[in-house]
Amino acid sequence: MYQGSFVAVVTPFKDNSEVDFEAYGRLLDWHVDQGTNGLVPCGCTGEAATLSHAEQKECIRFAVERVAGRVPVIAGTGSNNTREAVELTRFAKEAGADGALLITPYYNKPTAEGQIAHYRAVAEQVDLPIMLYNVPSRTGTNIAPETTATLSTIKNIVSIKEAAGSVDQVSQIVKSCSINVMSGDDSLTLPMMAVGASGVVSVAANVAPAKVAALCAHANNGDFAGARKIHLELLPLFKALFIETNPMPVKAALARMGFIKNVLRLPLTPLREQMWPKLEAVLTELQLL
């Protein structure tokens, strides 16, 4: 199903906090040119939580039209309100997205039964490939491997972005079912691919797309020595992009690289001044400036 480096692309804003579609288009084109295998707009890194539904739909449509089939576009359509998730996923299908990324319902903290019912409702009402998104650090709940296995029996639930921070959990998923697994943690991409994941939905690929794509390509071709070399080279970047809450560091990096303005939507704020030297040192070391 999905393979390689899928970028969890940021949403650029103008100084007045409106979406900067000119910068957005440049970013999308750059990722395709750099060998990115797929694009994921309107996820956590894309600040979907502070986009209005109208803005989220506009970003999804824009990404689909700009990419024009060059690589898959997996639209972020998750919500802790199942009706909203259905509505957004239905829009993504109508807009021509290749799939939808749906985060586990957050704040509500549903049981396994609730998780299954939520995803089943979306899958049954919208015939679009669905990637589950398990990120307990943001949602407060984990999708257990046995729950993932149950969900994998629903025909259009085809993948999971696994960001629980556990290679053991990925191993259990791979052992229990045949769902496609994508890492949701850059620093664990290589270990997860070693046990059966096929790629990553990446934050770091926002700033080093060619390198992350190459890491995944080496691993998928069985060249784990080549993948390990890139992993170790990029490890400082993987860590630097989480010195504060994502996407604060990655937006700072892209602004320093000249791609976007360093503007976030409240309650997120720009990277604190004292954190800049750490980030700049890594960007300089990797020759990204």
112/260 Cα distance (integer angstroms): 40
24 is catalytic: no
By C-alpha distance, which of 186, 142, 169 is closest to 8? Answer: 186
Q: How many CB atoms lie within 10 A of CB 172?
A: 17
* Tokens coding 135: 């990120």
Helices (H), 197-223: 209-220
- Among 161, 175, 211, 229, the one annotated catalytic: 161
107 is catalytic: no
Write the single-letter amino acid at 60: I
By C-alpha distance, which of 259, 240, 238, 258 is closest to 249? Answer: 240
8 A C-beta contact, residue 200 and residue 211: no
- Among 24, 119, 133, 251, the one annotated catalytic: 133
DSSP state of 186: G
Helices (H), 142-208: 145-151, 167-176, 189-194
CA-to-CA separations, 231 to 93, 186, 191, 216, 226, in angstroms, rounded: 35, 9, 10, 10, 9
Active site residues: 133, 161
